[in-house]
Amino acid sequence: MRMKRFYFLGLFAWLCIFSLQAQYVHDILGGTYQKRTIEMGEDDEGRVVCSLVRRPPLEGCQKAILYVHGYNDYFFQSQLGDSIQKHGYDFYALDLRKYGRSLLPHQDAFYCRSLKEYFADIDTALHIIKEEGHRDIVLMGHSTGGLIISYYMKHHPDANVKGVALNSPFLDWNFGWFMEQALIPAVSFLGNYFPEWTVQSGGNPSYAHSLLKGFHGEWEFDTDWKMPLGHPKRAGWIRAIEEAQRDVQQGCNIQCPVLVLSSTRSYPESAEWHDEYLSSDIVLSVDDIQQYGERLGPNVERHRIEGGIHDLILSPRPARDEAYRLLFEWMEQI
């Protein structure tokens, strides 16, 4: 009887260990990349998950970067993860709820009514990374991911974060005076009462064409997850962005070091192709990025990268190399 009890206890312990190890599975990126799906409860649409992607940790490494993607996006930039780990940091990336690997069939892609909905995803990812042996964690965000991280840090001043790196953060809309001062606030107000109202049904493929190998770019990605024509934008989402931007623009007082990177120039996007799209930010205003980026905390380092596009790590060379150089130099200093 005692032998049977020990047998079942041993089997139970083995199953527990196996279960923990099996939390990560092979990721769609291939190579050594792994994915862990995390259950995040339910919202108005039902079941919610987020996805943590990583390269297997280096032995004894206590430093890590957690990367958060932008709007209409997901983590596919394996070159970033490879480069980060070569520089002595373990690498993790988070596909937020309703994005990429985390998008479930019953969900409206990318939709939220407050950017605070993502705070639980970040909290959970940071907890896992810490539990996996990392003491020094850097948050890195691109575009809307940069806004989410800034917003998160303002409301989590005691977060276990050593530094914040922002790649073209979405700190303000890129519209004219009337749109930003009148129309967007009006839509935001209505978004509180009619959140499902579709404000914009489609988009312009020029930015996607500047990235995709089959057009003018160097990269391949899943166009069901990063849609060339975008996805319908709802008033509730507009309200969520407007609310977060206004809060962040007032200043965040982020105490850890902050790196803000942008292109040197913006260029207006249109349906017609222009070669300037390969050397400019055609999504956001770089002046807004730099202006509001300065207000994020007392220790902000800002740079403009000549020839950079909206996602600086996807820029053509030499701008891409310059973005990496600035990132790694900053990482060595913090």
pLDDT in tens, 243-262: 999 999 999 999 999 999 99
The whole-chain average pLDDT of the chain stands at 93
pLDDT of residue 114: 98
Instruction: Please name the residues in contact with 150: beta carbons below 8 A apart, sequence gap of 6 or more.
Output: 141, 164, 166, 169, 171, 248, 252, 254, 296
Q: Is the pLDDT of residue 116 over 90?
A: yes
- Picking from 128, 51, 131, 64, the residue whose alpha carbon sits closest to that of residue 96 is 51
pLDDT of residue 11: 39
Q: Is the pLDDT of residue 22 over 70?
A: no
Amino acid at 256: C
pLDDT of residue 14: 37
Map tokens 């959140």 to a residue: 195
Q: Is the pLDDT of residue 112 over 90?
A: yes
Q: Is the pLDDT of residue 110 over 80?
A: yes
Q: What is the mean pLDDT of residues 166-176?
A: 95
Q: What is the mean pLDDT of residues 28-46?
A: 96
Instruction: Please name the residues in contact with 185: beta carbons below 8 A apart, sequence gap of 6 or more.
Output: 242
Q: What is the mean pLDDT of residues 40-67?
A: 96
pLDDT digits 0-9 by tens, 290-312: 999 999 999 999 999 999 999 99
Q: Is the pLDDT of residue 185 over 50?
A: yes
Is 24 inside any structural domain?
no
Residue 75 phi, psi (nearest 5):
-80, 115
Q: What is the mean pLDDT of residues 172-190?
A: 93
* Length in residues, the chain: 334
pLDDT of residue 54: 98
pLDDT of residue 203: 85
Is 167 inside any structural domain?
yes
Is 32 inside any structural domain?
no
**What domain range is 107 assigned to?**
38-333
Is 18 inside any structural domain?
no
Q: How many domains does the chain have?
A: 1
Is 280 inside any structural domain?
yes
Is 141 inside any structural domain?
yes
Backbone CA torsion sign across 318, 69, 57, 259? positive
C-alpha dist (Å) from residue 57 to 86, 133, 219: 12, 9, 26
Is 27 inside any structural domain?
no
Is 53 inside any structural domain?
yes
Instruction: Please name the residues in contact with 135: beta carbons below 8 A apart, sequence gap of 6 or more.
Output: 62, 63
Here the CATH number for the domain that contains residue 321 is 3.40.50.1820
Q: Is the pLDDT of residue 1 over 70?
A: no
